[in-house]
Amino acid sequence: MSIPASSPATGVQQSNDHYDVEAVRADFPILAKPMNGKKLVFLDSAASAQKPRQMLAAMQALYEDHYANIHRGIYDFSVRSTDDYDAARARVARFINAGHPGEIVFTRNATEAMNLVAVAWGRTHLKAGDEIIVSAMEHHANIVPWQMLREATGIVLRVAPIKPDGSLDWDVFSKLLNERTKLVAMTHMSNVLGTITPAKEIARAAHAVGAKVLFDGSQFAVHGGADVRAIDADFYTITAHKLYGPNGIGALYAKRDILESMPPYQGGGDMIERVTWEKTTYAAPPNRFEAGTPAIAEAIGFAAALDYMESWGLERIMAHERELLEIATARLSAIPGLTIYGTAPQKGAVISFTIDGLHALDVGALLDRQGIAVRVGQHCAEPLMDFLGVHSTIRASFAMYSTADEVEALAEGLEKARKMLS
């Protein structure tokens, strides 16, 4: 199936006529593996995406061909590994349109990136009474670090509510902004609702009162691409494992002058300029924030995954996923007793839902027996579950390798589960 689709990031109409999803699937070895004796239907990419063989090969090539520690060795293997690592940083910078590779700090994941901001920027620049605004749809990773900062410094945490369709309540949000607001920290796309927030407008409003803005791009980056300069983000976080890359590496983008104003997050090797018993001086960013031996192979795998995505064209991937979202929304809405949470006009390829009278865990277990992998639970968003008035939801999330046949398999699996559990 192929229809024109409008990208939530750009609004540009893109045809999906030349997107070969079966060719994409052939690049992901795990998709050919059965689960519980059934053909695998993997619909949990929002938790962690599967990996293309091109990414796996890039990491293996490092280990088999020229692996060595980086930045210190003058021998060939070390120089080549250093070049690959530095090229990976530049690759990530290009992916999100950072102004310079030095604005990219490698972290373990997006969670560590937000904690880095809370500690290194927050404890340096904020004081008691200063305010941070988050939204009601945040992942715990964009809640707990600010609560910890509140306990340490006395800052005030404000929560911008959402509307019944899952979109940000702009009227209330704009009223929360004031001269005490120092940071607005929001998801760019909800991992539960799929809601895409108006990042550019949020940044403009935050900057108008002198506040910085941080976006958690963990979900959005893979579905919509991210342009940090276009939205004028001060901070932006991403994680490789949701971008078809390896676990254990993510990135923090921050404007260069902001990074230079932040002290180190951790101490150790490679983040120093000079160490004496009396005093240590620190390296310039980004090295200042990357203590110890880094995730060398993971950085290279991260870059290879981005290369793979872009080889298919981000606009074509987005069009494909948007088509699947439309098909799934229509198909699941026809199932009696099924309620979808998150119907904002701007939405990524995620559907969270409940079925009347059925526990999400029971439904997930029955789908598993049919070879269908979905997420069940609170999705690290307990305050959002409280707002929605549910204990947990079932979540299906789509990726560049998902198909319309898998959407149908999900719907049929849910109908079967409904009959068995009712």
Q: Is residue 380 annotated as a catalytic residue, yes or no?
A: yes
Contact (CB, 8 A) for 68 and 78: yes
For residue 361 the two structure tokens come to 């865990």
How many residues can be counted in the chain? 422
- Name the active-site residue from 380, 390, 404, 421: 380
Q: How far is residue 43 CA from its own chain's centroid?
A: 16
Cross-strand partners of 215? 186, 236
The H or E element containing residue 355 is strand 350-355
Neighbours of 115 (CB within 10 A): 22
Name which of 172, 106, 103, 115 is nearest 141 in CA terms.
Answer: 115
Cross-strand partners of 216? 187, 237
- β-strand 131-135 against 156-160: which pairing, if any? parallel
Could you tell me what percentage of the chain is helix, strand and coil, using 3-state DSSP and rounding each to the nearest 5? 45, 20, 35
For residue 104 the two structure tokens come to 């990219």
Residue 389: phi and psi, rounded to 5, are 75, 30
Residues marked active site are found at 380
